[in-house]
Amino acid sequence: MKEQPPTKSAGEHLLLFGGTGAIGTEVERYACNRGWRVTSVSRSGPGVKFDPFNSGDSFDAVSSESPFTAVCWAQGANAADSVYDVDLEHHLEIYRANCLYILATLQKLLTQNLLTKPARFCVISSIWQNLARQAKLSYCMSKAALEGLVLSASTDLAAEGHLFNAVLPGALDTPMTRANLCAEQLSRLTGATRFARLPGVEDVASMVFYLCSAANTGITGQFIAADLGFSRVRIV
């Protein structure tokens, strides 16, 4: 059967923070291919440049593109540390990038009335918000904090009809993953489920798209793993 072209969605406008990374790039491509308008924001460009912690950056360029029907945060930072060697200042920087960035930009969107009502929100978190991974202290702690942010935001924003969720990727099949993991590690990950493959960025993007679309009328305060079942299954 011939594959049908994607259904176009008129009037949808996605504000995407972190559109330059692997996930953000795919989210933008996926949404644009379905007729959505996408405004991409990053701390260093391309797209609209904005960093809420840089006093020299203005939010005006973002505001001028409003209103937004959906918002996705795909930005963030990673770190390799443990309780033995964690640098507390760097730990705070990871928390700032992974948590406070979302809170600061969300507050601007709300207080400046830049959203349609209702709007849909999606945070890219990680399965490592719920699971321990060796030598990933700051990363896991910051992602775990996102659980509280999503739950609180979904509760506080319900009165205006907004829906607020998170997608939790696992290890994705990207050039960075293949560069950072040895063959044995890749084999263990792909063998952890019977799919015999790693999930791809398109698996994450399709879930983000649904949660941010008008088709989502009742899912909020949820954390949906896009990991081919990795976090829920054990092959024994």
Q: How far apart are CA 126 and CA 81, in angstroms?
A: 17
Q: What is the mean pLDDT of the chain?
A: 93
Residue 208 lies in a domain: yes
**Per-residue pLDDT for 8 more than 90?**
no
129 falls within a domain? yes
Residue 99, in any domain of the structure:
yes
**Domain extent for 61:** 13-171+200-226
Domain-embedded: residue 138: yes
pLDDT band of residue 176 (cuts 50, 70, 90) is confident
Q: In angstroms, rounded to a whole number, what is the distance separating the alpha carbons of residues 26 and 22?
A: 6
Q: How confident is the model at residue 131 (pLDDT cuts 50, 70, 90)?
A: very high
Q: Reduce the DSSP state of residue 55 to 3 states and report it.
A: coil
Give yes or no for residue 60 having a pLDDT over 90. Answer: yes
For residue 70, being part of any structural domain is answered with yes
Percent of the chain with pLDDT over 70: 96
Question: Residue 12 pLDDT > 60, yes or no?
Answer: yes
Mean pLDDT of 54-66: 95
pLDDT for 31 equals 98
In a domain, 5, yes or no: no
Q: How many domains does the chain have?
A: 1
What's CA 90's distance to the chain center, in Å? 21
pLDDT at 9: 55
Q: What is the pLDDT of residue 217?
A: 97
Burial readout 87-115 (b: 16 or more C-beta within 10 A, e: otherwise): eeeebebbbbbbbbbbbebbeebbeeebb
CATH number, domain of 221, equals 3.40.50.720
Assign 3-class secondary structure to 89-107: HHHHHHHHHHHHHHHHHHH
Instruction: Tell me if 236 is assigned to some domain.
Output: no
Domain contains 231: no
